[in-house]
Amino acid sequence: MNEDKHPDSVEGMGRFLRSRREQLTPAAAGLPGTGRRRVPGLRRDEVAALAGVSASYYMRLEQGRELNPSRRVLEAVARVLQLGDEDRLRLFRMAQPSTRRMKPPVRVERVGAGMQQLLDSLTRSPAFVIGHAQDILAANSLAAALYADFGQRDNVLRMLFLDPAAKDFYRSPERARHRAVADLQRTAAQTPDDPRILELVGELAVRSSDFRSLWAREYTKVPPYDVKRMRHSAVGELELRHEALDIRSAPGQQLIVLQAEPGSPSAEALALLGSLAAPALPEQERHSTDG
């Protein structure tokens, strides 16, 4: 046992977590009704899934066998158990008694005017910029038209897991989900205290059982980008090459470009989509171009 740990940090943290878990009902945690239950409050595996950790890892926390949980894990567990400020501070003191907690800075991401100009110049390919948590920061008009079937176009993961349109739009939605989760896990490992990632994981863990299941997995690597196969409600089937380019002037941001094979049916479908999405010319201007 680590001698730097006070006994309250080991056994006490386990008792503390169990007591808070038993006080929280599934309904309060946002879980659907599960009928009769053998234990009061939430089960360990439910807390683990909502917090985005494995059931065995959370069990070690409650048994006092995990002596150095990361700040990310503690934040996630505190969120799931809906701890107030006092209990949250107590949990951190028990887990890391010698560490002074500092609130991580909020990471503000913006797209520069030059990048927006570049996006707008790509008239034949859907293109957009995503942030470190896969928030969609900017897009060109063809990308907006391509994803028009989605109710909200604000975050790749929210679109994949929370929007019903994803099941019809992606011909292989599970592959897209695996890749997005693996990518987010890699970023979370590099910035474990990031408030935006913690917020996003918390929302998705509560609202999507599919996300909880995938987030609990440990991906050894991010699956490679490849051809995306889609089905658009207006122009039908599309096969587009997916390119992701790191933006050196804005670390953490990526430029995503989707390209069709020249002369292919997908290229024709993109051209049709572009014409459908193009704003109508005013009548006076239309006559001048016709003449």
Domain limits, the chain: 7-95, 113-277
CA-wise closest residue to 211 among 181, 167, 169, 172: 181
CATH of 7-95, one of 3.30.2310.20, 3.40.50.1700, 1.10.260.40, 3.40.50.720: 1.10.260.40
CATH of domain 113-277: 3.30.450.180
Instruction: Please give the pLDDT value at position 274.
Output: 93
Instruction: Please give the pLDDT value at position 153.
Output: 93
pLDDT of the chain, 291 residues: tens digit per residue = 344 444 445 568 888 898 999 898 888 888 876 566 777 788 888 888 888 777 788 888 888 777 678 877 888 899 999 998 888 888 888 876 544 445 555 667 889 899 999 999 999 999 999 999 999 999 999 999 999 999 989 999 999 999 999 999 999 899 899 999 999 988 887 876 688 888 898 889 888 989 988 887 777 777 777 788 999 999 999 999 999 999 998 999 999 999 999 999 999 999 999 999 876 445 544 444 444
